[in-house]
Structure 1
Amino acid sequence: MLPLRSVYGGIFRAAIRKLQTSRSPCLHRLLSTRDGLQVGLADADTIFALSSGHGRCGVAVVRVSGPASATALRRMVGLTHRLPPPRTALLRSITDPCSKEVLDRGLVLWFPGSVPGMRPAEAGEFTRRAFQAGKLDLTEVEGLGDLIHAETEAQRRQALRQMSGELGRLYQDWSHKLKRCLAHVEAFIDFSEDELIEDGVLERVDRSVCDLQAEVKQHLKDERRGERLRCGVQVVIAGATNAGKSSLLNTLCQRPAAIVSPIAGTTRDVVETALDIGGFPVLLSDTAGLRDSSDLVEQEGVRRARERVHQADLTLLVVDSTRLPSDVQQAADFLSDHLRTVLPSLKQPETEKCLLVLNKTDLLPEAQTQKLQQELRRVSGLPAVCLISCQTNEGLKDFLTVLQSSVKTLCGDPLCGAPTLTQARHRAHLQQCAAALAQYQRYRDADLALAAEGVRLALTSLGRITGRVGAEEILDIIFKDFCIGK
């Protein structure tokens, strides 16, 4: 429950199914009446909603906000005159306001507040009111939304950290620095001729802008870890036909998500499934086997496979281990050539974006499997190599450990280091901020007014992330720092 103490009027807790029954025509009539006077819903602004979500459960929470909240509270819990003490839980029977039938017993909490009007709450309106009342900034609102939709433990941790305001505080700190810079530049433009501005003001602004620009650029160099964690790591299974790609997908998701057949080219389209790998979200995609084909449908499947590989955060390159040369060095050369064919743009420093999965090891002599496993890991220039059998699950545990480590590296630890970007809009506004700061440096000596406009644009870009920016704060800094006019 959000701490919207100043805006919502009452909270009722009751069994969800009985509560939904009572919220039909009778409750609507009650909530459209204020102190015995009929109020049209079109002109009303009291809102009510089930805040604990729909579905079967033992406990439900209903929030009501607005001037009719007191009336609803008194009539549904049998209070004739006095309301419960503010912010104090009261155990009461909850009754139908028309038939007086007891619906349930639950806790009632009264949070005094007053908002004119009455109507059912729109989606997200309680949170919107919290933002408008200054209880949350936009990054905290987004963190709350991410927490609601979190499906893995790592997503939950990142959402909680953002909802706590850490990311917003970072941007607010930058905004405060920019406000001071802008105030000083504008004061210099307006009052320097009157000798009311102390020496060295612009030099201090120069240093602040330069330092802040470096911080923003460093913040942007996060390799999209926060966005990956929020939306899921794109992991693509690729390779030649009949290498065992669909078998690997089915093994990982533990269900027959893709058709497995000895006929080459069975998979024609991309098959996707969402997984939780060690607490991190993964969107796993099985793709068509990469080969030349005269079949138009298969050609389209191969095109989609290559496109998906190009977009992937991590590629699992599946290879039929029975096709490897027996000599380890030749096997390494074979894998290097195969890697260049599937991932032509992959560079050696980026090998962590790919895992080599040698499948069908159950068809190899055990001695050869062990030798391959030992020797291939020593070959430089190759990504991590995992030998598995989707038929017997041999090597699967080690493969999952390597996969989890790779996914964690791509997402990062949401609780360590500086808070990361989680939204594409954050990145766009920060890029605009960096470009605006560059404008200040570009026009600093040529036209100070244009340089100041760069600082103003940078401040606006940051304000769009948090939803907070105002000209009054800049004026406050000007008069506070320089005491102009006393």
Structure 2
Amino acid sequence: MSERDTICALASGQPPAAICIIRLSGDRIWKLAGALLDCGLPEPRRATLTKFRDEDGTLIDEGLAVFMPGPHSYTGEDTLELYLHGGPAVITHAISTLTSEPGVRLAEPGEFTRRAFEAGKIDLTEAEGVADIIEAETNAQKAQALRQLTGGLTEQYDQWRADLTGILALVEVVVDFPDEEDAPEETTAPVIRKLTRLIHEIEEALGDRGIGEKIRDGFRIAIIGAPNAGKSTLLNRLAGRDAAIVTSRPGTTRDVIEVRRVMGGQIVWLSDTAGLRETEDEIEAEGVRRAERVAAEADLRLFMVDGSAPELGVLSSPFRQSTDMVVVNKADADLASGLPEYDHRISAKDGDGVPELEAALADFISRKAASVEAPVITRARHRARLVDGLSCLIAARDALEQGTGPELAAEDVRLAIRHLGAVVGSVGVEDVLGAVFSQFCIGK
């Protein structure tokens, strides 16, 4: 195997800090430790106090060094971690000293985790879990990332792939050995039953309403309604700052304004939108189109109504849906007649009723997030592969049911295995061969 660069990077937060961690991975660690650490190469997996010097012998810092020899390390290579004082001068001196050595360079973003994947230490879903847990802001995001990092998703995908490999083995035997006495007595019917069960399981996973992605990326609440209903004022109230411009002039909001909040233990994007009305103004009309698009994609729509002077045309138009949470604003004024049934009455300007509304929003989001116990899809990449795999399985089942030949079914199952394998980053034909020769006595 050819030698590749040893990489190094600051693995802790940006300075200044009490302690920093500088991580290295690669074949040159033995040489680096011997040249730069007073202790030489530390004993494996034992924190060793040592002085760290540059190539001229100048002291950089005194700290701890931990050596983890490959292949029993995160990256599968020899790794070294230096625990030093977290001041900018120490970090700059240390990094510049390390990268001045031949064959040592700064790591690219995610390169340590990529090397771990290439060494077979983790799969793609676990690698994504590493990124997600670093970025997690809520307990829900952390829990989902930990489940992914510890192989929770991998276990499900591997089970599906194992089931499909067994099915493919059965179909391949029928194709390749139709007259073999040792071929299994399985008929098409049990294979179809197994395919149908897998199709049902994957359809259930795809029917999770995107909860896994939403926990990771955030749920969306769109504030919609007629101009001057108080949408921007409510957004500012919920945001705790002046995120949107508020004036008495209708049509002030022309574009979608988003605010990020944590509500119900989840990340939530609150969107203020242009007032819904027919208009000849080209810019405002584009704002209305964007408002409709945002509303269509939202997990919850807050339909704001001016309680003192409701826009009846908007109330009776297709803009309003039965699932909207209707909020009557301007509760400090006398309510007009002809108002629709509403869920909340507030004064966005004074804050009356807003805490109760916010509590209702948090409850809605927390219940929606809990509606799927353990999502197996956390990214759009997973969903796209599952959709492709599902279509292949349906095609395979149709081929068997219609009697168009096991060859076509085998190819569709093989493609489905590849799609599922792509989720975790593992696709291999040897799995099929192993299943065939372990289950059947072909060739005896």
- TM-score using structure 2 length: 0.85
Report what 1:78 is aligned to.
Answer: 38
CA contact (8 A) 1:175 1:459 kept: yes
Report what 2:61 is aligned to.
Answer: 104
Mapped to 1, the partners of 2:344 and 2:62 lie a distance apart of 58
CA contact (8 A) 2:136 2:142 kept: yes
Q: Which amino acid aligns with 1:90?
A: T
Q: Which amino acid aligns with 2:356?
A: D
Quote the offset at 1:303 in angstroms.
2.5
Report what 1:179 is aligned to.
Answer: 165
CA distance 1:286–1:55, change in 2 (3 Å): farther
Quote the offset at 1:401 in angstroms.
1.2
CA distance 1:318–1:99, change in 2 (3 Å): same
Report what 1:16 is aligned to.
Answer: none
- What secondary structure, in the 3-state scheme, does the structure 2 residue paired with 1:92 have? strand
Q: Aligned pair 1:449/2:407, yes or no? A: yes
The Cα RMSD (Å) is 2.6
CA distance 1:342–1:406, change in 2 (3 Å): farther
Report what 2:319 is aligned to.
Answer: 343
**Percent identical residues:** 41
Counterpart pick for 2:218 among 232, 256, 259: 232
- What secondary structure, in the 3-state scheme, does the structure 1 residue paired with 2:419 have? helix
CA distance 1:340–1:281, change in 2 (3 Å): farther
Mapped to 1, the partners of 2:163 and 2:288 lie a distance apart of 52
CA distance 1:136–1:417, change in 2 (3 Å): same
Report what 1:210 is aligned to.
Answer: 196
Q: Which amino acid aligns with 1:47?
A: I
CA contact (8 A) 1:44 1:118 kept: no
- What secondary structure, in the 3-state scheme, does the structure 2 residue paired with 1:185 have? helix
CA contact (8 A) 1:270 1:286 kept: yes
CA distance 1:213–1:339, change in 2 (3 Å): farther
CA contact (8 A) 1:46 1:66 kept: yes
Mapped to 1, the partners of 2:15 and 2:391 lie a distance apart of 48
Q: Aligned pair 1:145/2:131, yes or no? A: yes
Mapped to 2, the partners of 1:272 and 1:125 lie a distance apart of 33
- What secondary structure, in the 3-state scheme, does the structure 1 residue paired with 2:262 have? strand
Q: Which amino acid aligns with 1:62?
A: I
CA contact (8 A) 1:43 1:118 kept: no
Q: Deviations over 1:281-306 (max 9, x none)?
A: 11222111122333333223223222
- What secondary structure, in the 3-state scheme, does the structure 2 residue paired with 1:316 have? strand
Quote the offset at 1:44 in angstroms.
4.6
1:4-403 equivalences under 5 Å are 44-80=4-40, 83-101=41-59, 103-113=60-70, 118-200=104-186, 202-323=188-309, 338-341=314-317, 343=319, 346=321, 348=322, 351=323, 354-364=324-334, 385-403=343-361
Counterpart pick for 1:437 among 390, 393, 396: 393
Mapped to 2, the partners of 1:213 and 1:269 lie a distance apart of 42
Quote the offset at 1:459 in angstroms.
0.7
Mapped to 2, the partners of 1:340 and 1:173 lie a distance apart of 51
- What secondary structure, in the 3-state scheme, does the structure 1 residue paired with 2:287 have? helix
- What secondary structure, in the 3-state scheme, does the structure 2 residue paired with 1:298 have? helix
Quote the offset at 1:406 in angstroms.
1.9
Quote the offset at 1:157 in angstroms.
2.0
Once structures 1 and 2 are overlaid, which stretch shifts more, 110-119 or 461-470? 110-119
Report what 1:19 is aligned to.
Answer: none
Mapped to 1, the partners of 2:266 and 2:316 lie a distance apart of 29
Unmatched 5+ stretches in structure 2: 72-76, 79-102
- TM-score using structure 1 length: 0.78
CA contact (8 A) 2:221 2:300 kept: yes
Quote the offset at 1:221 in angstroms.
0.5
CA contact (8 A) 1:162 1:419 kept: no
Once structures 1 and 2 are overlaid, which stretch shifts more, 83-92 or 162-171? 83-92
Quote the offset at 1:128 in angstroms.
0.9
**Which 4+ residue blocks in structure 1 deviate beyond 6 angstroms?**
none
Quote the offset at 1:340 in angstroms.
5.0
CA contact (8 A) 1:90 1:109 kept: yes
Mapped to 2, the partners of 1:249 and 1:145 lie a distance apart of 31
CA distance 1:340–1:226, change in 2 (3 Å): farther
CA contact (8 A) 1:228 1:410 kept: no
Once structures 1 and 2 are overlaid, which stretch shifts more, 424-433 or 195-204? 195-204
Mapped to 1, the partners of 2:32 and 2:43 lie a distance apart of 16
Mapped to 2, the partners of 1:118 and 1:208 lie a distance apart of 52
Quote the offset at 1:127 in angstroms.
0.6
CA contact (8 A) 2:393 2:416 kept: yes
Q: Aligned pair 1:428/2:404, yes or no? A: no
Q: Deviations over 1:372-391 (max 9, x none)?
A: 9xxx8xx6xxxx71111122
Q: Which amino acid aligns with 1:360?
A: K
- What secondary structure, in the 3-state scheme, does the structure 1 residue paired with 2:433 have? helix
- What secondary structure, in the 3-state scheme, does the structure 1 residue paired with 2:326 have? strand
CA contact (8 A) 1:362 1:391 kept: no
Mapped to 1, the partners of 2:245 and 2:275 lie a distance apart of 13
Quote the offset at 1:450 in angstroms.
0.6
Mapped to 1, the partners of 2:376 and 2:182 lie a distance apart of 42
Quote the offset at 1:339 in angstroms.
4.8
Counterpart pick for 1:464 among 403, 417, 422: 422
Quote the offset at 1:311 in angstroms.
2.6
The number of residues matched between the two structures is 411
- What secondary structure, in the 3-state scheme, does the structure 1 residue paired with 2:360 have? helix
CA distance 1:134–1:339, change in 2 (3 Å): farther
